[in-house]
Chain A
Amino acid sequence: SAVISQKPSRDICQRGTSLTIQCQVDSQVTMMFWYRQQPGQSLTLIATANQGSEATYESGFVIDKFPISRPNLTFSTLTVSNLSPEDSSIYLCSVEEGATRANEQFFGPGTRLTVL
């Protein structure tokens, strides 16, 4: 399976600032995704990062708050803007592997964000 790295692994940020998270994959992948996992909760999909076009956002998530870049098939960034304590969470990128409909997802190690 693909090897996925994320930077930073954790950060503590002040309210009102922004954090950009990087996700690097060791192979070219078509589909890259960004998830949020709030404390004690399961994963929620934020958006699908599309190469060469704008990201596709899920209900409740908007581009102004979570701008995403996908400059090539191995890299994506997620920015969490205008931070508030409610943004404290783990942010995970993932890739989808397999050409069949039963695609399986593999996750990066996550970025733990704490907003003060």
Chain B
Amino acid sequence: RKEVEQDPGPFNVPEGATVAFNCTYSNSASQSFFWYRQDCRKEPKLLMSVYSSGNEDGRFTAQLNRASQYISLLIRDSKLSDSATYLCVVNRGYSSASKIIFGSGTRLSIRP
């Protein structure tokens, strides 16, 4: 079983729809959590950090459920430009990249 698991998708939704992804992690000692976005043939870019209390940035909402060991990303009013692969990232430790684990990504395609 992978330490960080995501549904690979693809999720194919119409423009304007709301879409949500989950990501589960197996190491209960994990400390910090992130969502990255990766466009085709581009580098990953940080979308948002995920805080225990949940956080919102415009149309994007991220939540953390430590009890069930998952994080989620909700995209409201989806735009064509939201089409990308969304990577769940979990940091198992403090300030150490060797403890950062990338999920394999969830592909999202928004159709007109």
Contact = CB atoms under 8 A, between A and B. Distances in A.
Interface stretch (B13-21, B66-74, B92-100): B92-100
Interface string B40-69: 011111100100000000000000000000
B31 interface: yes
A96 interface: yes
A105 B35 CA distance: 11
Given A42-B104, A43-B44, A109-B42, A58 B98 contact: yes
B97 A104 contact: no
A104 B87 contact: no
Interface residues of A, number: 24
- B contact residues, range: 20 to 34
B103 A103 contact: no
Contact of A104 (B34, B43, B98, B102): B34
A105 B46 contact: yes
B22 interface: no
B44 A96 contact: no
B91 interface: yes
Nearest to A57: B98
Contacts of B102: 42-44
A92 B97 contact: no
B27 to A, nearest CB: 15
Nearest to A30: B95
A106 B91 contact: no
B32 A102 contact: yes
Interface of B: 31-32, 34, 41-46, 49, 87, 91, 94-95, 97-98, 100, 102-105
